[in-house]
């Protein structure tokens, strides 16, 4: 079979590219449905995504691409309400601009260390940056333990700009001003969410495509970049002119099987995330919060979210996220153990009470979940991308490009690439 554009993956990047490209294309997707990590699960009264996916559009084009094709009542617009669970209390996020909500002694420690912090022009790593910009107390009370739980790695292994524009920086003036005039300047201070889950937006992208050009339950098992041939798991051979990859870069390197890139493959680092979607028979006492960050190392999850508070439903509907290093194999027994521990911790936090019954749940593993950005591998990834560019091969998206970006960023890059080639 011949195609001009072979697209690996029917997630947000692959679907967007196909929406903008001119010419024939073929999308190959290993799962039995489109959407990638933006798939939605429907179970009885509950609507769950693979994890919390909320849309923060900065461009009218992409915003309108979705909302113009949906009934207005099916689009929810929220000003986010996010908290941090800290020593049994909920304080406002981000931690560094809300230290005045801490107990007096801790507040003084944070303010003192913030005032006396030793900033540098450049930092050796992500942890070095945290200490340099926020001081010892803010770093050790929240920033260090939370990010260690999230990334499941020594923070010294991450680049100082590992989170790019998504990290909530704040200078001393902003922190002091926030004590009297609360202001949230974070990139996601408000968001859109479709009532039918994030998968609703993916379906809009899909409905503009030719379904005959989308192969589900089909995986690319090997690629000869010089001959421009891909072999599928059903034995079919695809001849292509351009290759658009959106599968995780580490797996793409395995598929092309080129020893030249073995070192890059081995050095690429990331975490895995075990996600529990939980549905209970009644609401929690927390009725406003959208998601909560949990830095406490004695609690197994790093973040929890409340679909019911976004969808305004009458039963507690949650997602729970637990981080693991990339080399950990998450077994069924581990999942059972973590579910039990999660329910215990939710009761300890007074989110779930004894009279609340778990009606439904789904456990999911995101592998990879968050890519680890380091100076060394970032340089090697850029060199790889340049090599691929000369072969009309393009690896895009959060995982294909091995970067930290939003869904809209992925869509923009996919559109730009389609228009460029």
Kindly state whether residues 207 and 264 are assigned to the same domain.
yes
Give the range of the structural domain holding residue 251, as residue numbers without chain letter: 2-38+198-268+373-420
- Calculate the CA 208 to chain-centre distance: 25
State the sign of the Cα–Cα–Cα–Cα dihedral 280, 285, 288, 290.
negative
- In the chain, the number of structural domains is 3
Kindly state whether residues 255 and 390 are assigned to the same domain.
yes
Query: What percent of the chain is modeled with pLDDT above 90?
Result: 84
Kindly state whether residues 259 and 378 are assigned to the same domain.
yes
Tokens of 342: 């999660």
List, for residues 82-113, the tens digit of each pLDDT value: 999 999 999 999 999 999 999 999 999 999 99
List, for residues 313-372, the tens digit of each pLDDT value: 999 999 999 999 999 999 999 999 999 999 999 999 999 999 999 999 999 999 999 999
Whether 219 is covered by a domain: the verdict is yes
Question: Distance (Å, rounded) from C-alpha 249 to C-alpha 326?
Answer: 14
Whether 261 is covered by a domain: the verdict is yes
361 forms beta bridges with: 278
Q: For residue 97, what is the DSSP state? A: G
Question: Distance (Å, rounded) from C-alpha 335 to C-alpha 341?
Answer: 10
Q: The CATH number of the domain where 354 resides is what?
A: 3.90.660.20
Kindly state whether residues 333 and 208 are assigned to the same domain.
no
- Per-position b or e across 10-33, b if 16+ CB within 10 A of its CB: bbbbbbbbbbebeeebbbbbbeee
Whether 67 is covered by a domain: the verdict is no
Kindly state whether residues 257 and 391 are assigned to the same domain.
yes
Kindly state whether residues 298 and 350 are assigned to the same domain.
yes
Whether 49 is covered by a domain: the verdict is no
Kindly state whether residues 159 and 113 are assigned to the same domain.
yes
Strand runs labelled E in 229-298: 229-232, 237-245, 271-280, 291-293
Which of 152, 182, 212 is at the close of a domain? 182
Kindly state whether residues 264 and 388 are assigned to the same domain.
yes
Kindly state whether residues 282 and 324 are assigned to the same domain.
yes
List, for residues 304-329, the tens digit of each pLDDT value: 999 999 999 999 999 999 999 999 99
Mean pLDDT of 228-256: 97
Kindly state whether residues 250 and 385 are assigned to the same domain.
yes
Quick one: pLDDT band at residue 22, thresholds 50, 70, 90?
Answer: confident
CB 86 within 8 A of CB 75: no
Whether 44 is covered by a domain: the verdict is no
Question: Distance (Å, rounded) from C-alpha 30 to C-alpha 232?
Answer: 10
Which of 157, 182, 207 is at the close of a domain? 182
Kindly state whether residues 283 and 364 are assigned to the same domain.
yes
Q: The CATH number of the domain where 31 resides is what?
A: 3.50.50.60
**Least confident piece of the model among 156-170, 218-232, 298-312, 345-359:** 156-170
Kindly state whether residues 299 and 190 are assigned to the same domain.
yes
Q: Is the pLDDT of residue 186 over 60?
A: no
- Calculate the CA 7 to chain-centre distance: 21
Which of 182, 212, 229 is at the close of a domain? 182
Q: What is the pLDDT of residue 34?
A: 97
Whether 48 is covered by a domain: the verdict is no
Tokens of 355: 């009279």
Whether 383 is covered by a domain: the verdict is yes
Alpha helices in 260-358 (DSSP H): 262-267, 307-311, 332-348
Whether 69 is covered by a domain: the verdict is no
């Amino acid at each position: 079979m011949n195609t001009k554009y072979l697209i690996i993956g029917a997630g947000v990047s692959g679907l967007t590219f196909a929406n903008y490209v001119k010419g024939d294309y073929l999308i190959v997707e290993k799962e039995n449905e489109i959407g990638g990590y933006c798939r939605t699960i429907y179970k009885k009264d509950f609507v769950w995504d693979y994890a919390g996916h909320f849309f923060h559009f900065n461009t009218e084009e992409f915003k309108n691409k979705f909302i113009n094709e949906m009934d207005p009542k099916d689009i929810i617009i929220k000003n986010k309400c996010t908290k941090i669970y800290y020593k049994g209390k909920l304080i406002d996020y981000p931690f560094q601009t809300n230290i005045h909500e801490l107990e007096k002694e801790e507040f003084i420690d944070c303010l003192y260390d913030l005032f006396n912090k030793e900033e540098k022009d450049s930092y050796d790593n992500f942890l070095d940056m945290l200490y340099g910009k926020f001081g010892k107390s803010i770093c050790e009370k929240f920033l260090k333990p939370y990010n260690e739980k999230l990334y499941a790695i020594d923070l010294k292994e991450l680049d100082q700009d590992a989170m790019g524009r998504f990290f909530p920086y704040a200078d001393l003036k902003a922190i002091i001003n926030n004590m009297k005039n609360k202001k949230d300047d974070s990139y996601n201070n408000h968001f859109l969410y479709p009532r039918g889950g994030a998968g609703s937006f993916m379906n809009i992208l899909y409905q503009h495509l030719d379904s005959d050009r989308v192969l589900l339950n089909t995986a690319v098992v090997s690629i000869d970049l010089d001959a421009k041939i891909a072999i599928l798991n059903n034995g079919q051979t695809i001849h292509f002119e351009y290759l658009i990859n959106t599968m995780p870069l580490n797996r793409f390197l395995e598929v092309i099987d080129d020893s030249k890139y073995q070192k890059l493959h081995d050095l690429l680092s990331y975490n895995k995330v075990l996600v529990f979607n939980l549905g209970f028979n009644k609401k929690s006492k927390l009725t406003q919060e959208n998601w909560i960050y949990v830095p406490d190392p004695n609690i197994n999850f790093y973040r929890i979210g409340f679909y019911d508070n976004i969808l305004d439903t009458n039963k507690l509907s949650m997602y729970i996220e637990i981080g693991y290093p990339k080399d950990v194999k998450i077994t069924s027994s581990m999942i059972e153990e973590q579910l039990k521990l999660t329910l215990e911790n939710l009761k300890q936090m007074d989110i779930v009470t004894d009279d609340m019954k778990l009606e439904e749940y789904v456990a999911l593993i995101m592998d990879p979940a968050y890519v680890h950005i380091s100076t060394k591998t970032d340089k090697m990834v850029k060199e790889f991308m340049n090599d691929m560019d000369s072969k009309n091969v393009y690896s895009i998206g959060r995982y294909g490009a091995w970067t930290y970006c939003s869904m809209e960023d992925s869509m923009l890059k996919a559109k730009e690439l389609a228009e460029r080639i």
